[in-house]
Structure 1
Amino acid sequence: MSDKPKPSRSLAGIAGIVAVATLISKLFGFVREVAVATAFGVGPVVIANTYAYVLPGFLLILLGGINGPFHSALVSVLAKRDKSEAAPLVETVTTIVSGILLLVTIILILFAGTFIDIQAPGLDPTTRSLAIQQLQIMAPLALFAGLIGIGFGTLNASDQYWLPSVSPLFSSLAVILGLGGLALVLGENINAPQYAQLGGIVLAGGILAGGIWQWLVQQIAQWRSGMGNLRLRFNWRIPGLKDVMKVMAPATFSSGMLQINVYTDLYFASFIPMAAAAMRYGNLIVLTPLGIISNTILVPLLPVFSRLTAPENWPELKIRIRQGLLLSALTMLPLTSIFVSLSVPIVKAIYQRGAFNQEASNVVAPVLMAYGFGMFFYLARDVLVRVFYALGDGETPFRISIINIVLNGVLDWLLVTPFKTPGLIFATISVNIISMVVFLWILHRRLHGLPLGEWSLSLLMLTGISAIAGFSSWGVSSGWDKWIGSGNFLLLILQVSLSALVAFGIFALLVTRLKLPEVDILVSRLRQKFGKRGSS
């Protein structure tokens, strides 16, 4: 925005702020899910909550998440306009979004049973009843999701990155406090069948309270920054509104179409015992580092993409796209090698306590391994989608997402029988790979050529290095099991830590020999994060 009183932070400075704040919020989210696993294991309360959270949770993550369509649309428009124009525009967008999402909230409450039956026809009656009740409790998250997403975009556009990135911790904290209070009252009986309904109410109520808490914290900062108040504004002709909606509407539908793939996966999972809970716990382990790293890469790149959309700036835009893809690979592929090679000890170390027993670990570990394979493709696809948003094109991702719905459903049907729950994850990974290839091909034509051969060779070499690191990590872990064992928590932590350190070390050693410029960028960011924080 053109009249900021202070100079914009450097990309490295923004990335450092976002990384630290996101790390804090992700750690709270991680503790929240460990608390849920300890209290309820893979039982009916968690399975019901997984399905009940699909709709309000997808809205909270999609619309209210950083890098979501609301955030992307507002940043891409407000970054090009004067700050004096921000408040009326934000208030108008908030009025429109609130009206739509209030209606969505009412629909979710009234037709909760229908939505649960559509998502999970294979649920038993008890779990179905719990899911319906929890969905009705969490339905207002639909409204607050949009408000949180607007807050994310507005605060980032005013050069505020710390609070938006750290604010999700309030949501996790509310759940942790709720479960802690329930544990004090019920003790070891917290997972008893007769208290399942109470457990579901506390879990769903904590999630709703956390969403409201997160919004309130953001709203106070938004008021203080002069970026809009809680005011109804119906000026449909305000400058910039058309630009915001041009990106926001198709981007929301596009991301929403992507979430239908999640519904499809859970539909098939409802017929597999404990599958939904396994997907929830495995997904959390992967999303914790993925969320931190994706925000670190995407948040500072989106405004840069937006400023390089003129044809004369396309050479620089191509360099930035390469940076996004290669940084995604450099951060995701070593994690892939670790999650694939160490899935069993990782799950045991994180979850196996309380109601989460050895049987639950055996169910979750293969799912974690499957999720690990898809980390790079998920993040790379998001990088390319942000390029289209910066170009003011939300329609192309939307159209591709529609095709992906059909493709994901077909792949789910084909893969669920031979591979069970991991097959559902492999279907989603395949869709992300195809999407990434299509996006690159379209950008190759639109930007008058991309060096795809050079990029592909670099990515292929990084994949090979990741495989070597993974096999080495697996060898160390297997040797530890054979000679030392992992009979207690301390030995298990040492096993995972040593094996992961070997994977990171080998990956780093081999990558430095490729002499990629993105390696220097990544090293510089790490030094600024753990040494002196760089700022311009």
Structure 2
Amino acid sequence: MTDSKKPTRSLAGIAGIVAIATIISKVVGLLRQQAIAAAFGAGVVAGAYNFAYIIPGFLLILLGGINGPFHSAIVSAVSKRKREEIAPIVESITTLVVGLLLLVTIGLVIFADPLMHLVAPGLFATAEQAAARGVTPAGYQNLVLTRELAIQQFKIMAPMAMLAGLIGIGFGTLNAADIYWLPSISPLLSSVTVLIGLGGLAWMLGAQITSPEYAVIGAAVLAWSTVAGALLQWLVQLPVQWKEGLGGFRPRFDFRRPEVQDVLKIMGPATFSSGMLQINVWTSMFFASFLPNAEAAVSAMGYAGLLAMTPLGILSNMILVPLMPVFSRLSDPENWAELKQWIRQGLMMTAIAMLPLSALMVVLALPIVRIVYERYAFDLEASYLTASILIAYSVGMFFYLGRDVLVRVFYGLGDGDTPFRISVVNIFLNALLCFLLINLFGAPGLVLATVGVNIVSMGAMLWILNRRLHGLPLREWMTPIAGLIAASAIAGLTAWGTLQGLESLWGTSGLLILLAQLCIAGAAGLIVYIGLALQLRLPEVNQFGDRIRQKLGRGRSQ
């Protein structure tokens, strides 16, 4: 904003604010998942909620997320304008978006049944069809109840379509005004409202909260508290917008204004492009609905996904945020030699961080799940299912983040088309792999399909970059990565052996025992990995070690 009253923050300061807020939000998000797991386990209520949340959650992430198309478009347009020009632009866009998304909301309510049939067709199977794929009579009753609850929750959460647009617009407006803390921290409000809702339900029902006869009440509370969280995310932004003179919720119909047209030109393509990523999520849920234990499978996928994405999200910010401006600065052909070195560094740092994390999470998946989730309605059977899916997620961590590094390289080169085209192809590849792997591995196969897509994406991007940048030293890069893979494998075996020994001595009962076993086994594996990685004498490993020693040195000196 050209005449902002506030001084522009440093990039490091902004990154620090966002990082702290993100960590807090993720911690509260984990508490929310723990509460849902404790109340409903991997049963019909949690399963129905995961199916019902696909479209509303898709819209909330797509339209209301930070770095989403609405957020990015508003920041791009508003940050260039004088303060007195901002309110008319924001209010005109808000009026248009609310009108369109209100129609979408009404459509979601009216067509809830056919839309849920599209999202999860397996839930609509007849008794004969369900029996043919191995569903027991009791399982079929759960299937029917899951379908009914999912439709009920879907209708309740339909207004999140409109709220998502308002949240995204508000995020962008506040960021353009150099206000970062509120947009970054507000996602935890959604988690807090769910915690309050479940707390009130537990207070009223007590131990009966887990009883099947109260499933309809539990499902309604879970859905309404989710909507309340989205509403609160938007409402907390309004006073700040008004105070800063950035517009509010006043209708304005100046849609032909050039600035409004500029925002819409960015919003449309960005929304379509961002939506490609979420289609793969829907594809996994589509196939999961055909599993004999569909409600348990989708619940476990949600629980395991959060465990995998929490550390991955934090580490990805640490690795990716500093690289994007570097890639952009080195986009000219005369700088490509240096660009290749930075690509190498990005991939090496990804390998250094992700490979040992993958190995440790694979061998320690069960105690991790038991410690985080296993209480009340979430039993040992649910832990085993969730752990098996967490293993599948863990296998693909390096490829997930490695692909993101290469996507940033293309963006730095000014090429957004290539990653988009690869994403389009991946939609069909993901569907094919889901079809093949679900029959072999069940629910974990759906996650492995995503891993396969990321491997193919990473390979395709490396091949294209190799041609575009006139050669990449891929063989040279593979040697240290192979060394890190070996070090991670040995670290994983060390952690597994340590865990087995501790379990034979102490057993596997009790939260404190499980926590002690996890910490000791994880520490043993990590120490082995660090020792082996240092022996590889990679510059990136040595730099990391130097920073740790410097911080420890400062700590002792203080």
What residue identity is the alignment partner of 1:409?
A: A
Q: CA deviation at 1:286?
A: 0.9
**Is 1:265 equivalent to 2:284 in the alignment?**
yes
CA distance in 2 between partners of 1:514 and 1:224 (Å): 56
Distance 1:150 1:469, change over 3 A: farther
Give the corresponding residue for 2:300: 278
Give the corresponding residue for 1:175: 194
Give the corresponding residue for 1:341: 363
Task: Give the gaps of 5 or more residues in structure 1.
Answer: none
CA distance in 1 between partners of 2:246 and 2:521 (Å): 48
Equivalent positions of 1:152-171 (< 5 A) are 152-171=171-190
Q: CA deviation at 1:462?
A: 2.9
Give the corresponding residue for 2:40: 40
Give the corresponding residue for 2:7: 6
What residue identity is the alignment partner of 1:63?
A: L
Give the corresponding residue for 1:356: 378
Equivalent positions of 1:75-474 (< 5 A) are 81=80, 90-91=90-91, 93-123=93-123, 124-225=143-244, 228-231=247-250, 232=252, 234-236=254-256, 238=258, 242=262, 248-272=267-291, 273=293, 274-299=296-321, 301-302=323-324, 321-389=343-411, 393-446=415-468, 450-474=472-496
Give deviations 1:390-447, integer Å, cap 9, x for gaps: 6565443332222111111111111111111111111011111212222334444555
SS at match of 1:122: helix
CA distance in 2 between partners of 1:236 and 1:293 (Å): 43
Give deviations 1:162-209, integer Å, cap 9, x for gaps: 333222111100000000000000011112222111101100111111
Q: Is the 8 A contact 1:92 1:236 kept in 2?
A: no
CA distance in 2 between partners of 1:298 and 1:217 (Å): 30
SS at match of 1:353: coil
Distance 1:316 1:16, change over 3 A: farther
What residue identity is the alignment partner of 1:284?
A: L
What residue identity is the alignment partner of 2:281?
A: V
Task: Give the gaps of 5 or more residues in structure 2.
Answer: 124-142
Distance 1:349 1:525, change over 3 A: same
CA distance in 1 between partners of 2:520 and 2:55 (Å): 40
Q: Is the 8 A contact 1:41 1:357 kept in 2?
A: yes
Q: Percent identity?
A: 55
CA distance in 1 between partners of 2:394 and 2:215 (Å): 32
**Is 1:484 equivalent to 2:506 in the alignment?**
yes
Distance 1:393 1:172, change over 3 A: same
**Is 1:52 equivalent to 2:52 in the alignment?**
yes
Give deviations 1:32-75, integer Å, cap 9, x for gaps: 11111110111110110010001111222233223434445555
Distance 1:135 1:322, change over 3 A: farther
Q: Is the 8 A contact 1:72 1:302 kept in 2?
A: no
Q: Is the 8 A contact 2:191 2:229 kept in 1?
A: yes
- Whichever of the two has the greater Rg, that structure is 2
TM-score of the superposed pair, with normalisation by structure 2: 0.84
CA distance in 2 between partners of 1:340 and 1:128 (Å): 33
Q: Is the 8 A contact 2:63 2:165 kept in 1?
A: yes
Aligned length: 530
Distance 1:446 1:465, change over 3 A: same
Name the stretch that deviates more: 115-124 or 500-509: 500-509
What residue identity is the alignment partner of 1:32?
A: R
Distance 1:325 1:365, change over 3 A: same
CA distance in 2 between partners of 1:450 and 1:114 (Å): 49
Tell which has more relative contact order, 1 or 2 (C-alpha 8 A, sep 6+). Answer: 1
What residue identity is the alignment partner of 1:173?
A: V
What residue identity is the alignment partner of 1:403?
A: V
Q: Is the 8 A contact 1:38 1:355 kept in 2?
A: yes
What residue identity is the alignment partner of 2:61?
A: I
Q: Is the 8 A contact 2:77 2:259 kept in 1?
A: no
What residue identity is the alignment partner of 2:308?
A: V
What residue identity is the alignment partner of 2:236?
A: V
Q: Is the 8 A contact 2:93 2:260 kept in 1?
A: no
CA RMSD between the two structures? 3.3
What residue identity is the alignment partner of 2:114?
A: T
Name the stretch that deviates more: 368-377 or 65-74: 65-74
What residue identity is the alignment partner of 1:238?
A: P
Q: Is the 8 A contact 2:149 2:216 kept in 1?
A: yes
SS at match of 2:64: coil
Q: Is the 8 A contact 1:91 1:229 kept in 2?
A: yes
